[in-house]
Amino acid sequence: MGIFDFVKQGTQEMCIARPDPAKQFIVYKHPDQTVPAYAQLTVDSDECAVFFKDGRVVGILGPGRHTMQSSNIPFLGNIVDKFTGGNLFIAEVFFVKTAPVRGCKFGGTLADLEDPMTGLIVSPRIFGEFAVQVVDPATFVVQYVGQAAAGDNDQVLDWIKGQFMLGARTVIGQICDQEQISIIKTAALTKQIGDRFLRECPELASCGLRVVQMGMFNLNFSPEDLAELKKFQSVLAEKKRDIAVAKLDVQAGTFEGQAAAARQQAVMDQKFQNDSRYVQQLAGNYNNYAVGQAMIGAGQGMATGEGGGGAGMMGAQMAAGMAMGGAMGRGMYGQGAGPAQVPQFTPMGPGGGPGAGGPYYFSGQAGQQGPFANAQMLATALIQAMGPAAAGMTQVWAQGWDSWKPAGSVPEISQFLPAGAPPPPPPPPPPPPPPMVVETFHVQFTEGVIQVSGVGGLKEELNRRQANPDQVMIWKPGLPGWIPARQVIA
C-alpha cells in the first residue's frame, strides 16, 4: 500500500458523514460500527444522527460538525471500547431526515367500517397526497428499521403510507361517531378530515411521524356500497319525517287544547263580570243574587212540570224554600257585598236566648242596615261590616229606644264584641228614629216567594189566592224556620 492510499484510507476513517448518493434517503445507516476517537462527525442541516448500542438509543446529535471525544459529547462515554484504550467507540449510527417529505401520494381501500347510522359494513376508498415529517427520530428508527439496514425511499414511503391508511381509518371512524353522521356524508367533510389528519393521526404518531400538510384528496365508495347507503339513508329520512310530523301533531293538539281552555276561561270571566255587575246593581249582595238565581231555577223547573206533584212537589218546595230562606237570612247582615262566609245563627224570638230583643239596626258606611233579630246577630254583622276595632263605635238603634247609641255602650250587644275595643267617641247628633217596624212575612207560592206586611196582609193574600193556610209555608225573622201559615193566622 502506497503512502497516498494510507492517507486516503485514514482520512475516510476519521470523517463520518452521509455519502452524497444517499443524501435523498429518509434514513441512512452508517456501515461501520466502529468510530475512531477524535473522528469528525458531520450532520447536515436537515437531519440528525442517532446512536444505538445493544438495542437502545444512547444519544442524538443535531446538525453541525462534532468531534468524537467524550469530553465534548458526554454520552460517548457509554459506548467507548475499553480494550482499545479508549481510542474507539462502538455504536450504530443512523442519519435521519428531519425536513418534511412532500408529495407523498397515497390511495386505496380502507379496511371495513361499520356505518354508525345504518349499521352497514362498507369499505370506503381514499386518494390524495400529504407531506410527512420525522419528529421523533429515535422512535422512527426503532419502529421502522429495527436497527436493520435501511432501504431506499420507496420502501420507507410505502411503509409510511401503510401507517397513514390505518390512521385515516381511525380518524374517519372517530368523526362519524362523534358527529353522529353516516360515512356517506364524510365525503363532503374533506376540510374537517384534513384538519384532523394534521392534528392527530394515531398510527403515524406512534412511529415518530407527523402529517404536516394535506393535499387534495377525496373519499368515495364502490357502486354497491353507495347504493346500499343511499337506500338506508332514504329510509332513515322517511322515519325522521314521520317523527317530525308526529311532534307537530302533538304540538298542534296542545295548542288547540290551550286555545279551548282560553276560550272557556274567557266565557267564565265574562259571566263573572256580568254576575258582579248584577250583584252590585240589582241584588245588593251575592247572597241575595244567589237566592234570586235559585228562585229562577225553581220556577223554570216548575214551568216544565219536572219533579212531579202532590206531596212530593210540596216537599221539594219546602226544601227549596228553607234553603232560600236561610240564604236570605244570611243576606240580611247588610246590603253591600257580603263576607266570604257568614256565620250561621238560629233566629230567636223574645226570651229565646242571649241578646233577645230587637229587632236592631245600625248605621254604617252603606247606610242604615237591619233589622237583626237579636243582639248576637247584630254584633256579628257589625264586626263583619265595620271591623273589630270600629264595631263598638258604630251607632245602633232598637225599637223602643229614644235615640241612637254606640254599640259598645249597650251591654246586651257589647258582650258579643271583641274585648279591648277602644271606648266609643261622643255620639253624633242622632238621626230621626226609623218608623215603626211592621212584621214582614216571606210567603212561598208555586210561582215563587213573595213578601207581605203583617198578619193582616198575609190573610188578605191567602184569601185572594184562595190558598190553603195548611199548605202555604211562611217565614219571618225570629222564627226557627219555615212554618205553615195556619200557625200565624190561627
Cα distance between residue 359 and residue 337, in whole Å: 22
β-bridge partners, 453: 440
Highest mean pLDDT among 139-148, 337-346, 409-418, 435-444 belongs to 409-418
The band of 319, judged by pLDDT with boundaries at 50, 70 and 90, is very low
Tens digits of per-residue pLDDT, 278-313? 545 544 455 555 555 555 555 555 555 544 444 444
With beta carbons less than 8 A apart as the criterion, state whether 377 and 384 touch.
Answer: no
Cα distance between residue 171 and residue 468, in whole Å: 105
- Name residue 260's amino acid: A
Q: What is the mean pLDDT of residues 247-266?
A: 79
Tens digits of per-residue pLDDT, 353-412? 334 467 899 988 778 888 898 999 999 998 988 888 888 889 999 988 888 999 999 999
**pLDDT > 90: what percent of the chain?**
17
3-state helix, strand, coil in the chain (%, to 5): 45, 20, 35
> How much is the pLDDT for 142?
85
β-bridge partners, 51: 59, 93
Q: Is the pLDDT of residue 39 over 60?
A: yes
β-bridge partners, 65: 42
Q: What is the pTM assigned to this prediction?
A: 0.45
> How much is the pLDDT for 422?
55
Q: Is the pLDDT of residue 420 over 70?
A: no
> How much is the pLDDT for 474?
93
**pLDDT > 70: what percent of the chain?**
75
> How much is the pLDDT for 305?
53
Closest CA to 172 of 215, 122, 241: 122
Q: Is the pLDDT of residue 314 over 50?
A: no
The band of 147, judged by pLDDT with boundaries at 50, 70 and 90, is very low
Q: Which residue has the higher pLDDT, 255 or 77?
A: 77
- Look at residue 449 and give its three-state secondary structure: strand
| 438 secondary structure, DSSP code | P
Cell of 272: 263573572
Q: Is the pLDDT of residue 329 over 80?
A: no
Q: Is the pLDDT of residue 166 over 50?
A: yes
With beta carbons less than 8 A apart as the criterion, state whether 68 and 41 touch.
Answer: yes
Q: What is the mean pLDDT of residues 75-85?
A: 80
Q: Is the pLDDT of residue 3 over 60?
A: no
Cell of 442: 216571606
Q: What is the mean pLDDT of residues 120-130?
A: 88
Least confident of 44-48, 91-95, 181-185, 324-328: 324-328
